Amino acid sequence: MGVLNVTPDSFSDAGRYFDREAAIARGLELVADGADVVDVGGESTRPGAEPVAEAEELRRVLPVVEALAGRVRVSIDTTKPAVAEAAVARGAWLVNDIGCGLAELAAAAGAALVVMHMRGTPKDMQRHAIYDDVVAEVRGFLAERAERAREAGIEEIYVDPGIGFAKTAEHNLALLAALPELVAGRFPVLVGTSRKRFLGTLGRPPGAAPLPVDQRGEASLATAVWAMAAGVRVVRVHDVRPAAQAARLLGDGCGAAELEVAS
Ligand code: HH2
């Protein structure tokens, strides 16, 4: 899943694809790089982000969804029912329900769904990063919400631990370590670590500033590969080409035996 942020303020590619034509061109580039799905978002979810009015979000995403929908499976990343509904009406295949409020709508529209774990809203979520057992709490939440979505009639449901959403770096690492456990559940798993802040803090001296976004590529790929090797079905990434190559390698059964034969 390639990330396409049609926003002026996303944490990594802020403003680069805010222009409609630039966004559509980027979507097609993601497809050429090997994306099976393009996730279109018109509102940043970075910690502290300001909310966007519905009319503005619709203006940002709908033409892009429409332009891409005939060429690739499109996902709509939103918390707003009107945005999800209009995007599906224009051909979006999946509702990326990061606020966990759109299952009924996705069911009625016949769309696939991502159920993601978050607490609060992007503006205040980091205040809610308090857990006794983050893995058990996230797993329980996802199982319950996904089951409800299934009962509402949705056939294709993905669960996502919501890396970076109301989570500290330690919480993110605990959830990544627990991916094999999450994958063993009933629903396929989606994970997004790409360029996130915690990747820039790993191995840094205490108190040091995190690595800037453009220096988080290697850690992004490493965590995507770990996720895929753990059995995660979808990885949400900004840099599609290396992740798609890794997916092919793993999907082609890069068991040690086969690699040995090839070499
Ligand atoms: N992460 C972001 C946005 N949407 N959706 C899912 N399902 N899982 C994620 O981990 C996830 C997500 C944040 O990344 P990005 O879109 O690059 O940034 P921004 O929200 O600032 O636009």
Q: What is the pLDDT along the chain (263 residues), one digit of tens a residue?
A: 999 999 998 888 778 899 999 999 999 999 999 999 999 999 998 888 889 999 999 999 999 999 999 999 999 999 999 999 999 999 999 999 999 999 999 999 999 999 999 998 888 888 999 999 999 999 999 999 999 999 999 999 999 999 999 999 999 999 999 999 999 999 999 999 999 999 999 888 888 999 999 999 999 999 999 999 999 999 999 999 999 999 999 986 654 444 455 54
Choosing from 236, 237, 238, 239 the residue with most ligand 1 atoms within 8 A of its CB, the one to mutate for a pocket test is 236
Distance CA 116, CA 145 (A): 9
Residue 259 Cα to ligand 1 midpoint, Å, equals: 34
Q: Active-site residue numbers?
A: 196, 236
**Angle made by CA atoms 151, 157, 161, in degrees to the nearest 5:** 115
Residue 45 Cα to ligand 1 midpoint, Å, equals: 6
pTM: 0.94
| Atom of ligand 1 minimally distant from the CA of 9 | 21
